[in-house]
Amino acid sequence: MAEKKLELTSSGINALLLNGIYPPLPTPFDEKGALAFDRMKSNIEFLNQFDLRGYVIMGTNGEYVMLSIQEKLLVMEAARAVIPHDKFMIVGTGTQSTDETLFLTQKAAELGADAALVINPSYYKNQMSMESLVHHYRFVADNSPIPILIYNMPACTGIDMDAETIATIANHPNIMGVKDSSGNLVKIGTLRQQVGPGFQILAGSAGFLLPALTVGAVGGILALANIAPAQCIAVHRYYSEGRFKEAQNLQVRLIPINTAVTSKWGVPGLKAAMDSLGLYGGPVRSPLLPLSQDQKKILDAMLIKAGIKK
């Protein structure tokens, strides 16, 4: 694994070079619903065998909206203790309040995070104008000791930030990139044209990793990388090496299983897949429900077909 790399941007700020693949780690709970730090440790130790660029904790797949502030701080501390320091730890710190987002971002920095992934506020959706969002992100970035990544996740927030909004927010020296989960390749390509080379775009799903790379993404934060790290890394590597046919073949093979653990069954599907592979997925938090036995059988067959499970 290469060491962390920094580049000096035109604004004079050291930005992280994000090129590569990041799994957004699920938060493990035991059967009583408590945080299971030993299980987190074993999952990360397994993933440390692969050439991942780093990890995201407390993203959508981390069920971060289900965690109390105290639990979030505990997860940050426990994850940093296990994640090697040559791999980035990116922490989801976005909440509905600008002040609370900044509080969690500053705490994440204190606990060893390399960057914060900040989802946009969305509860007062009709009031989330470009001006509101620009103010929110810039206030957090002004006061954050670590770089900020914008997180666009319209499936969960109901707001799909357009290229103009993201590019306007990006015009800040401490905002270094975006994780875009919309799957809108026209927007990603347009954004690549509108922002400087120091602003980095990460695909938010393995389902469109290869197409996103072709229009300017530098890597991806991919739920699928929790259960298929080698395959996700290979798509990125094949593209980087100009092995486009191999990248295409692998990308296409991964689409059905990626859909199963994202838009179809979401976190319950991802945790069930981890359990099936000998990792620890464990329970989800209510109101999420676990997969049924019939759904698990379908998922197992999909894992086998994708070449992830023998």
The predicted-structure confidence for 51-80, as pLDDT tens digits, reads as follows 999 999 999 999 999 999 999 999 999 999
Degrees, nearest 5: CA angle 180-182-185: 85
Alpha-carbon span 158 to 156, nearest angstrom: 6
What's the predicted TM-score (pTM) here?
Answer: 0.95
Confidence of residue 196 (pLDDT cuts 50, 70, 90): confident
The strand pairing partners of 116, in sequence order, are 91, 148
Residue carrying the six token digits 């965690």: 67
Alpha-carbon span 98 to 121, nearest angstrom: 8
Among residues 179, 187, 271, 296, the one annotated as catalytic is: 179
Amino acid symbol at 255: I
DSSP designation for 264: I
Confidence of residue 124 (pLDDT cuts 50, 70, 90): very high
Using the predicted structure, report yes or no on whether residue 84 has a pLDDT greater than 70: yes
Residue 87 annotated to the active site: no
Cα Rg for the chain, rounded, in angstroms?
18
Tokens of 109: 């920095």
Contact 54, 114 (CB under 8 A): yes
Pairing of strands 14-16, 6-8: antiparallel
When pLDDT is averaged across residues 232-256 and rounded to a whole number, the result is 98
Alpha-carbon span 125 to 36, nearest angstrom: 34
In this predicted model, which residue has the larger pLDDT, 196 or 105?
105
The CATH code of domain 12-251 reads 3.20.20.70
